Structure 1
């Protein structure tokens, strides 16, 4: 498995912890995020994640910014991207099961780091249910 990750300055601490956890599980990571805390523009770090997911270079993407909103909106501008802004393990699970989300957007300023790590694990371990959900996901335009 390979994951692309991107973050702005508000998400650096979370990104570093997520990357460490993923690598400890033997998961390859394409890191497009900043490693610093100086103010940067989240689209510069989110677009490469979405492009990697879009092209099939990675299995999933994770984006992190202060509210998660800007990163989520940016990712969803790309074709075939279903980025989900999640704030709990339960929402994360539903985003994968019901919406086949392929990018997880995390709001670093509104969730605790242990919660974020748990959400990443949930995102990666949960599969899309298909069935009635597949019909709905197919109605989301990709072009």
Structure 2
């Protein structure tokens, strides 16, 4: 699977742990995130992930910032992107099952690294249920 990841200064340690897990499972990872704790602007790191997902260059995206909000707002500006802010694994499962989310947004200041890794794992391994949810997902796209 091809996965793009991006993070601002709140997420370098999260990204490192997630990328290690993904590569150990044989996934191809494109890294757009910063490796520094120095202040940066999250749109600069979320937008390329969203572009990869929108253009089909990545199957899924992972974005990380302090609250997870700003970077998900940025990602959701791209067509074909459904970025979901997740702070626990149950939300990540529902984002995939009910919303066919293709990008997970992680709030680094409100989750632990093990929690974030677990969320990514369940996100990538959960299928969209379709059915009654498909009509709703279709209405998300303009």
Measured against the shorter chain, the TM-score band is: over 0.9
Aligned to 2:46: 46
What's the CA shift string for 1:51-77, capped at 9, x where partnerless? 000000010000000000001100001
> 2: distance between equivalents of 1:107 and 1:140?
23
Where structure 1 has 5 or more consecutive residues not aligned to the other structure, the ranges are: none
Q: Kindly state the Cα deviation for residue 35 of structure 1 after the two structures are TM-superposed.
A: 0.8
3-state DSSP class of the match of 1:57? coil
**How many aligned residue pairs are there?**
142
> 1: distance between equivalents of 2:130 and 2:84?
17
> 2: distance between equivalents of 1:139 and 1:74?
20
Aligned to 1:71: 71
Q: How does 1:21-60 map to 2 (within 5 A)?
A: 21-60=21-60
The TM-score with structure 1 as length reference comes to: 0.98
Where structure 2 has 5 or more consecutive residues not aligned to the other structure, the ranges are: none
Aligned to 1:86: 86
Aligned to 1:7: 7
> 1: distance between equivalents of 2:16 and 2:81?
24
> 2: distance between equivalents of 1:3 and 1:92?
16
Aligned to 2:133: 133
The TM-score with structure 2 as length reference comes to: 0.99
> 1: distance between equivalents of 2:101 and 2:12?
23
